Amino acid sequence: MKPEAEIFKTACPEINESFIEEHVSRLGERYFAVFSKKDICRHLRVLARLDSRNPVEMLIKMRKDGSVDCTVLGFDYPSVFSIITGILAAMGFSIISGDIYTYSLAETRERKIGRGKRRQNRATGKDPLRRRRIVDHFSGIVTAGYPFKEWIDEFSKRIRDAVTLLESGDEDSVAKAKQQVNEMVVRRLAQVHRDSPPVLYPIKMELDNESDTLTRLKVVSEDTPAFLYSLSNALSLHKVSIEHVRIRTIRGRIEDELLLADHHGMKILDENTLDRIRLSVLLTKQFTYFLGQAPDPYRALSRFEYLVDDIMKLPSQGKWMDLLTDPQRLQGLAQLLGASDYLWEDFIRLQYESLLPMLKPHLDGMKVSKSSESIQDRLDRALQKCDSLEEKRKALNAFKDREIFLIDLDHILDPESGFMALSRRLTGLAETIVRTSVSLIYRDLVERFGRPKSVAGLEVRHAVLGLGKLGGAALGYASDIELLLVYSDNGKTGGSGSIDNAVFFDKLVREMLGFIEAKRDGIFRIDLRLRPYGNAGPLASSLENFCRYYGSEGSSHSYERLALVRLRAVGGDREFGARLWRTPRAA
């Protein structure tokens, strides 16, 4: 039974009586059953002096047996529970037990205002007496490895810094707080279980809407680092609020009970939302076990939240279960999520239904991508199905994007293969894409304008040259493709719609720029800035201009001539390209 407020008014005469009444009325019977009157008076003294400049305080002490009691008292914010549990995990605090309490909503009128309005009042500091407060109590063992007093100081500082950002209330500050905690957590995760074997733990999960005024979630499983942190982040995506948590850990096995509410502070009755919560728990438990093995756990952790959100929207969730409960496949997913912003943005969000089945064959020792030697044949087969040049352009870019994805995925899942192997494969793909694109566009231009001829009537030769990382066969995943096109002679085309050779090859380069698509800057983006005269020069260079510019009397800078060390023919007439490689050296 909940005690009368008068008991605490007598025990704490220095505290505003109205605030004591708020505290007693807005916390449930569980709170008063767990804490002694002496503890509750301590809580009251701390909570009563909170304001916008001091939004959180900690009570921390070490017991005789070496365990630590840590109580965080502060204002309530969206994501505050995940912030606290994240910092605890990052600071090496292993939770043995915990009891987390949140003030109920102030009154019916406030419920009608809505969550957005309450956040605004929080941020502006209006009606501080009515603001929701938290009492988050944890008992556990500190394994941080430095003196306890220093641990207290560092933990307290991190909590204050993060909560101060939450108190600001603006999106940038909240995002910054989450980012900082994510970074702390993943650093700790990398230390804790980087070499753990891929073994998944069974999970017992219950959702109960009958025995309480809110929705009760019970999770029983082996402990995994940062589980509560990751789970609370995942639940926030479904607009689920964690109102109370009871944590118990016995010999590495956890029993967590969470009372959940919808965004109105009410019991969750929607079956679809309950199903999403169940799946979120399962995915989070298994994902946190493997998270520390990702090369970039911070990015993996950040992206996983959105992956979970997307999974919840799939109409047929059942087919995901077998895939995501395969420990090796989930480990590959963590590696994949942590590897590349581009890989995530371009493929995982859109293609993860196709991605996951591909992981299993690779983990059995197979490559998900095919050999570099077959790239040209496979691209040619894809183009044979197309009639128009536009259809071929779309097919070529789809082929390119998929090949980049598979090549990068092989590298992610087999990091021992080394960067040079990745570079060779990406370089080979780039050469094939450039060579094929130039050939397709050249043939189309010839049909429209005729074949370029010299003044003497000889056929004009051309070569596409790779510079920079392409020329040096050292492309990375986010490398530009630095190119230069050189043609042998001035003159005109021989067709009925004759144009100058300079115009013809300018069109060739210009159309190539639009033909090879880059999803975003830095991923197979064509870069022509190393051509003679840079952006001030023509897109295609005649042999005469090329020799004049790079010759001993030319206007090229020394660093431009040095760049020719990596010049290499990648398309067009390879023999003509080889001559160009020798020409500036002879000069």
Q: What is the pLDDT along the chain (587 residues), one digit of tens a residue?
A: 889 999 999 999 999 999 999 999 999 999 999 999 999 999 999 999 999 999 999 999 999 999 999 999 999 998 899 999 999 989 999 899 999 999 988 753 344 333 333 344 444 345 677 899 999 999 999 987 779 999 999 999 999 999 999 999 899 999 899 889 988 887 777 666 555 544 555 678 888 999 888 999 998 887 777 788 888 887 877 778 888 899 888 777 788 899 998 888 889 998 777 877 777 777 677 667 666 666 666 666 766 666 666 655 543 344 443 444 333 444 445 554 453 444 333 433 333 343 444 444 445 556 767 888 999 999 999 999 999 999 999 999 989 988 887 787 777 666 667 788 888 999 999 999 999 999 999 999 999 999 999 999 999 999 999 998 888 888 886 788 999 999 999 999 997 889 999 999 999 999 999 999 986 555 688 999 888 988 889 999 999 999 889 887 888 888 888 888 888 899 999 889 888 866 654 44
For residue 286, the model assigns a pLDDT of 63
Give the three-state DSSP class for 303: helix
> Which structure tokens are listed for 437?
């694109």
The residue among 424, 430, 420 whose CA lies nearest residue 518 is 430
CA distance 235 to 281: 9
CA distance 244 to 28: 10
CA distance 461 to 571: 12
Task: Determine contact, residues 193/186, Cβ cutoff 8 Å.
Answer: no
What global pTM score does this model have? Answer: 0.55
CA distance 340 to 9: 58
**Ranges assigned E (strand) in 450-585:** 452-454, 462-467, 481-487, 491-493, 526-527, 540-542, 568-572
Look at the block and give the residue holding tokens 């909503």: 105
Residue type, 51: D
> Which structure tokens are listed for 157?
């500082």
Length of the chain: 587
For residue 497, the model assigns a pLDDT of 86
Residue 15 to residues 33, 36, 232, Cα–Cα distance (Å): 22, 18, 33
The residue among 183, 166, 12, 153 whose CA lies nearest residue 74 is 166
CA distance 545 to 536: 13
Give the three-state DSSP class for 301: helix
Helix (H) or strand (E) run with residue 543 in it? helix 543-550
> Which structure tokens are listed for 92?
């090496």
CA distance 129 to 372: 68
**Ranges assigned E (strand) in 440-584:** 452-454, 462-467, 481-487, 491-493, 526-527, 540-542, 568-572
Give the three-state DSSP class for 18: helix
For residue 347, the model assigns a pLDDT of 35
The residue among 263, 289, 271, 274 whose CA lies nearest residue 205 is 274
> Which structure tokens are listed for 427?
């370089």
Name, in order, each residue with C-beta under 8 angstroms of 491's C-beta and a sequence gap of 6 or more.
452, 453, 454, 455, 460, 500, 501
Neighbouring CB atoms inside 10 A of 410's CB total 18
Residue type, 508: L
Strands 93-102 and 241-250: antiparallel
Beta bridge pairs of residue 260: 215, 242
**CA angle, residues 47, 51, 56, in degrees to nearest 5:** 55
Name, in order, each residue with C-beta under 8 angstroms of 326's C-beta and a sequence gap of 6 or more.
360
Helices assigned H by DSSP within 170-296:
171-193, 227-237, 271-291
> Which structure tokens are listed for 328?
């090796």
Look at the block and give the residue holding tokens 């995990």: 89
> Which structure tokens are listed for 83?
């912030």
For residue 543, the model assigns a pLDDT of 92
Task: Determine contact, residues 376/432, Cβ cutoff 8 Å.
Answer: yes
For residue 241, the model assigns a pLDDT of 84
Helix (H) or strand (E) run with residue 100 in it? strand 93-102
Percent of the chain that is helix, strand, coil (3-state, to 5): 55, 15, 30
Helix (H) or strand (E) run with residue 250 in it? strand 241-250
CA distance 303 to 297: 10
Residue-wise over 90-115: b if at least 16 C-beta within 10 A, else e? bbbbbbbbbbbbbbbbbeeebeeeee
Look at the block and give the residue holding tokens 């991923």: 523
Q: What string of DSSP letters covers 184-207? A: HHHHHHHHHHTT--S-PPP-EEEE
What is the number of H-type helices and E-type strands within the chain? 24, 15
Residue type, 82: S
For residue 83, the model assigns a pLDDT of 94
Burial of 472 per CB tally in 10 Å (0-12, 13-18, 19+): middle
Give the three-state DSSP class for 208: strand
For residue 122, the model assigns a pLDDT of 46
Beta bridge pairs of residue 483: 466
